[in-house]
Amino acid sequence: AQSVAQPEDQVNVAEGNPLTVKCTYSVSGNPYLFWYVQYPNRGLQFLLKYITGDNLVKGSYGFEAEFNKSQTSFHLKKPSALVSDSALYFCAVRVPNQAGTALIFGKGTTLSVSS
Amino acid sequence: DTEVTQTPKHLVMGMTNKKSLKCEQHMGHRAMYWYKQKAKKPPELMFVYSYEKLSINESVPSRFSPECPNSSLLNLHLHALQPEDSALYLCASSQDPGGNTGELFFGEGSRLTVL
């Protein structure tokens, strides 16, 4: 079965410091990996995805993620955190090349950035 | 237009009521999805429509009935719901139901309260 795991329920970081939100995956074959952010009482916003190619993926709002096949990880990073980055972050995986499948989400990590 | 529009934003219904949630996208996407999300939990897949045909039903109770009248519209008909069905219902769409490389675009959700 395809799955992703987010080992941390909450990540706390001071504004201006780098942040990392962790994600590991378990898939058969090549994974299609995604990061989404959710602000309170809102829908999910797409940040970035890894399909193939460069292991470092750049996305929206200054976020990036590094795909590491040997460690089966896809951690989300940002060099300098903002208070406005405080939100709930989800890692997700899609099953490749099977028609009509969908995203499978990790449990989510709450990011709290303090000023 | 890169939006997925969901109506209503809020819905309160009794256990004997019949109501519907509506979702619309005009991005030409051929896959549409319903997810259910409880507070601070990941979205859980309910249904997937691929080219207007139901391709995945994740063992959802029959009191939830999806409908895809055309490629732009997705409905979720609700009847005889239980209080535990109270949640945020998210609609999403994606461009490529076959290849699965594309991200899902989410609406803002319909917050349902069942009394």
* pLDDT tens-digit map of B23-59: 999 999 989 999 999 998 999 999 999 889 998 888 8
Are A43 and B106 inside 8 Å of each other by CB?
yes
Whether pLDDT at B115 is above 90: yes
Q: Which residues pair with A33 in a beta bridge?
A: A50, A93
Mutate to test the interface with A, among B50, B94, B103 (most CBs of A within 10 A): B103
**3-state secondary structure at position A65:** strand
Residue A53, pLDDT score: 86
From A28's Cα to the closest Cα of chain B, the distance in A is: 15
pLDDT greater than 60 at residue A21: yes
Confidence check: pLDDT of A64 > 60? yes
Q: Is A107 exposed, middle or buried (0-12, 13-18, 19+ CB in 10 A)?
A: middle
A105 reaches B (C-beta below 8 A): yes
